[in-house]
Each structure stands twice: as structure tokens, then as C-alpha cells.
Amino acid sequence: MTGRFNQAIETARCTGRWQALLLCMALLLLPYSVWAADLDSALAALAGASLSKVPAILEEVEAVGGEAAVPAFTAMLEGDLYYRRSDKRVVRAVRDDAGQYQLSDPLSGASLGASEKSALRKVKVSNRVRIHLRGAIARLTLSSEDPRQRLRAAQNLLERPDEDNLPLLRAAIETETDPDVVELLQTALALNLLQTSGDSEARLGAVETVAGSLQPAVRNQLQSMVQRDDDGNYGEEDAAVREAAQRALVTIDSRISFYGSLETVFFGLSLGSVLLLAALGLAITFGVMGVINMAHGELIMLGAYTTYMVQVLLPQHIEYSLFIAVPAAFVVSGLVGVLIERSVIRFLHGRPLETLLATFGISLILQQAVRTIFSPLNRQVFTPDWMSGSLQINSVFSLTYNRLYVFLFALVVFFVLQLVLNRTSLGLNVRAVSQNRSMARAIGVRADWVDALTFGLGSGIAGIAGVALSQLTNVGPNLGQAYIIDSFMVVVFGGVGNLWGTLVGALSLGVVNKFLEPVTGAVLAKILVLVFIILFIQKRPRGLFPQKGRAAE
């Protein structure tokens, strides 16, 4: 939009509801725009338009249609806007479960029937176009009924300050009722003033307004005010305003650094929870049974592939797929675990180091099996919508949902496992066999059977870890290898045979790693953690929480 329009608006004194203002604007614009009969035909120009022409077309659509164009803009932003090859009609097309595309009018939403993909062409969208669309939607929806939409619109205006938006902001603040939106709008307005107003009093007032805000745009603005440019002049000429800006900056910086450390703790706990999930299964097979299971990583991988299979079999239910995948992965990996125990490991009792060799062979076989069955390519595992995005606490601190859920999930798995081991008869048997095998047998525990179940339990937990990892990383044949060494480190560090040790070990290693990372870089942080573990084990050979009593030897 150009200044001319705003001038026109000002002179027209359209200061009522924003809709009215827009209407005025649209009316005023009409003579200047290329004569477009109506919104439909303006939109129709998008069919087959090259990317460089799209912004001009969009401007016209916005001018002609006003808020009526928003559904079409939204569809375009989401990549759902197509045109029919036959008649060049611009339509909104959404793929249905049958693979057909359901067409509808992008403006009215009226259904236009179904179509094959081949009959459609996509309306080209690039980042520039998306930026343009978001700006347009923000301008047009500042008066929307939905407060969330208004919030987004205000945020957009805040991040892209433009002198032209001043009257728009003023008008919006007057009518706005939602306090969050008002705050954002006021910040946006203040920022705008700081950049444009010649009145130092007004600027001082604006600094006070933004002083508590953590918006990056605010910080950048304040920063630019107190810094000298190349000629040695401050960005802000008035000393009093500068001082106020400096004070505001100090407050903001200290708050940012506080949230920064909170964030690092969260990152660390999240990394730790991944380690915990990966290591829990091993804590059972290795810690309780003494089997050095090198195929543990591959059991995790099987869990991830199970998630993939669940999504392939139930393509309509991606949102719930993980709830099905968790028990499924437990069963699949658990059964494979039982199979491994029955066919190989039971022959190697009392020879822990040899279980390492045999399970190493098994891990090679499992990897190649997956490669043969699923191809060596990574598999596409979808993230349900509720796992995407982040919980925005303020503009510098947010917790990503996938990490948050994985963290909670790891804790749940841990406590359920504790319950199983300490409160069920299976747990009792497992502990009995691991503490004194021959005595347990003597009192009638079927040690063989318990072995198989224990190994199955550990493997099943590994499978569950695979479900969680499928949401964080690649699902491919090499998935397991990436976690096997870390898992061993965690178990050994925490103390073999002690689940609490594994919990504390995993979380603390995660946090330490994340605090080191910004200082040393990711690789060196990992190396330092490894060296630390090596030295720690020299000091305390039995780990953080050594097993006590006779079971220890």
C-alpha cells in the first residue's frame, strides 16, 4: 500500500469500525486499480501466473475484495489453492482419503465436486508470496471476530513496522477488547512512534510503554537507540529518552538471560529424557540380567518402524497413531526380545561378555533385515498435530510440544516400570532371579521363564523408546546405532541394576551436555561428557548409585 491511500483515508476520516475503513479504502482504491470487474476475475488472474506477477495480483485482489478475500488468501498460504487446467478456474482443492481432490470455491466455500490431481495445477507460492499473504491477512483480519486471529495479525504488524500502519493501529486499539491484543497493538504502536515521531516526549512515553516487553523487535529498537552509528551519533538524540531506553534494555536483557537458562535446563532435561528412554530397556537387560545387549539399538529401531507400520495401516488416524503404536511397539520389540533370549542368550548364561558378541551379530542381522524389507531409505513417520509447535510462555521462552511430551512420557514409562518391578509378582521374580539365581530356583521360581520375560520386558521398553524417537529423528536402519553407546554410558554412569541411577544419570548428563554446548560446541560437549564419565567410573567403579549387598559382585 502506498502513502497515497493512507492520505486518502485520513482525509476521508473513516474512523469508525475498521470494516468501514476498509470499505472506504477499497472504494477509494477502485479508480486507481486496473479495472477488475469483481473479486472473482481478479482472483482468476492467479491461474498460471508466474511467481513474479503474483504479488501484484494479490494486491489487486486485496483491494477489490477486502476481507472477503481472506479465505482465498488462507487457502493459498496453506498451499491448497489450485486452478483447473480445463477452464483456468481458481479453486481450493483438498486431498481426501481416497486420493481424490475435493474442489470448492476459494471465496464462498461452495463445493465444486471432485477431481483428479492431474486435472489441477497448483497456484505458485513462494516465500515472498507467503510473506505478502500474511501481511495482507493481518491487515484484513485485525478486525476479525476471532481474538486469536487478531493476536496473530497484531504480532505480524509488530514485527514489520511500517509508517503506513499507524492509523490502522490507532483505529484497532480503540475498538479492541482483548487485553493481550491491546498490549501487542500498543507495543506495535509505540515501536512505530519510536521510529517515526519527532516529538521526544512522545518517544519517552513510547519507551515506557515497551519497557516490559520481551518482543525481539522491542529489544532491537532500543538497542539501535543507544548505539552510535558510523558517524558517532546515537540512534536516539534525546539524552533522557536514551537513558530510559538504556534502563529498559538492562531489564529486558536480565529477563532474557533468566529465561535463557530456563530454556537450557529444559533442553537438557529433554535430551536427558531421550537418553533415559533409550537406556531404560538396557537398564533391565544389562542391569538386571547382565546381558550386554548390543542389539538394543535395533530393538529401538524396531519400535520406530512399528510406528511407521501403524501409520501406514491406519492412514486416517495419524492423530491417534502414537497411542496404538506404543503398545504395538512394546509387543513387537518384546516378542523379538523373547525370541533372541530363547534362541541365543539362554545358551550363554554366566558369560556376559559373550552375549556381547552374539547380540552384535544379531544387531547386524536385524539391521540388514530392515534394510531388505523396508529399503535402506528413511521412512516417513508423521508427527500428529498435537505434537507440533510449541507452548509459548512469552516471546523469548517456549517449550516445544514434542520435547515436552517425550519428557513426560519418559517419566511415565519410568514410574510404570518401577511399579512393575516393585509391586508385581513378575517384578519380584525378576529381582529374585537377578539377585540369586540358584536360590530363586530352589524356592520354585522358573528362572528360564523369568529370564525370557525379563529380556522381553527390556526389549519392549526399547520398542517404546523407538516410538518416541520416531517423533524426534529419522526412522531408518541406522537409528539404533546412534543410541547404543549413549545408552550404555547412561546405565554404567547411573549404576548397573539401579533404575533410579539410570533416571538421575540420564537427566544430569543431558543437562550438563546442554550447558556445555553453547560454550564448547556440540561435539566437544559430547567428548567432555564422555571423558567425564570415564574419569567418574575410575572414581566410583559402580556408578552413581551402586547396587548394595551381595548382588553387587
DSSP 231-276: TS-BSS--HHHHHHHHHHHHHHHHHHHHHHHHHHHHHHHHHHHHHH
Q: Is 239 one of the binding residues for other proteins (CB under 8 A)?
A: no
Of 177, 535, 549, 550, the one binding other proteins by CB under 8 A: 535
State which residue, 317 or 423, has the beta carbon closest to other proteins. Answer: 317
Region from 83-91, 140-148, 460-468, 476-484 binding other proteins, contact rule CB under 8 A: 476-484
Q: Is 380 one of the binding residues for other proteins (CB under 8 A)?
A: yes
Q: Is 57 one of the binding residues for other proteins (CB under 8 A)?
A: no
Q: How many CB atoms lie within 10 A of CB 112?
A: 15
Q: Could you give the CA distance from residue 356 to residue 268 in angstroms, rounded to a whole number?
A: 30
Q: Which three cell numbers, joined as nine digits, stand for 389?
A: 509447535
Closest approach, Cβ 125 to other proteins, in A, equals: 7
Phi-psi group of 48: left, alpha or beta (phi > 0 → left; psi -120 to 50 → alpha; rest → beta)? left
Q: Is 521 one of the binding residues for other proteins (CB under 8 A)?
A: yes
Q: Is 342 one of the binding residues for other proteins (CB under 8 A)?
A: no
Q: How many CB atoms lie within 10 A of CB 52?
A: 10
Q: Is 131 one of the binding residues for other proteins (CB under 8 A)?
A: yes
State which residue, 74 or 383, has the beta carbon closest to other proteins. Answer: 383
State which residue, 31 or 99, has the beta carbon closest to other proteins. Answer: 99
Task: Identify the sign of the CA torsion 407, 413, 416, 422.
Answer: negative
Of 381, 450, 503, 504, the one binding other proteins by CB under 8 A: 381
Whether the CB-CB separation of 318 and 388 falls below 8 Å is answered with no
Closest approach, Cβ 123 to other proteins, in A, equals: 11
Question: Is 513 exposed, middle or buried, given 0-12, 13-18 or 19+ CB atoms closer than 10 A?
Answer: buried
Q: Is 313 one of the binding residues for other proteins (CB under 8 A)?
A: no
Q: Which three cell numbers, joined as nine digits, stand for 130?
A: 507467503
Q: Is 526 one of the binding residues for other proteins (CB under 8 A)?
A: yes
Q: How many residues bind other proteins (CB under 8 A)?
A: 101
Q: Is 134 one of the binding residues for other proteins (CB under 8 A)?
A: yes
Q: Is 249 one of the binding residues for other proteins (CB under 8 A)?
A: no
Whether the CB-CB separation of 146 and 67 falls below 8 Å is answered with no
Of 120, 265, 324, 482, the one binding other proteins by CB under 8 A: 482
Q: Which three cell numbers, joined as nine digits, stand for 214?
A: 520481551
Whether the CB-CB separation of 485 and 321 falls below 8 Å is answered with no
Region from 182-190, 239-247, 374-382, 416-424 binding other proteins, contact rule CB under 8 A: 374-382
Reduce the DSSP state of residue 464 to 3 states and report it: helix
Which residues, in sequence order, are CB contacts of 441 under 8 Å at separation 6+? 447
Of 111, 254, 388, 422, the one binding other proteins by CB under 8 A: 388
Closest approach, Cβ 139 to other proteins, in A, equals: 16
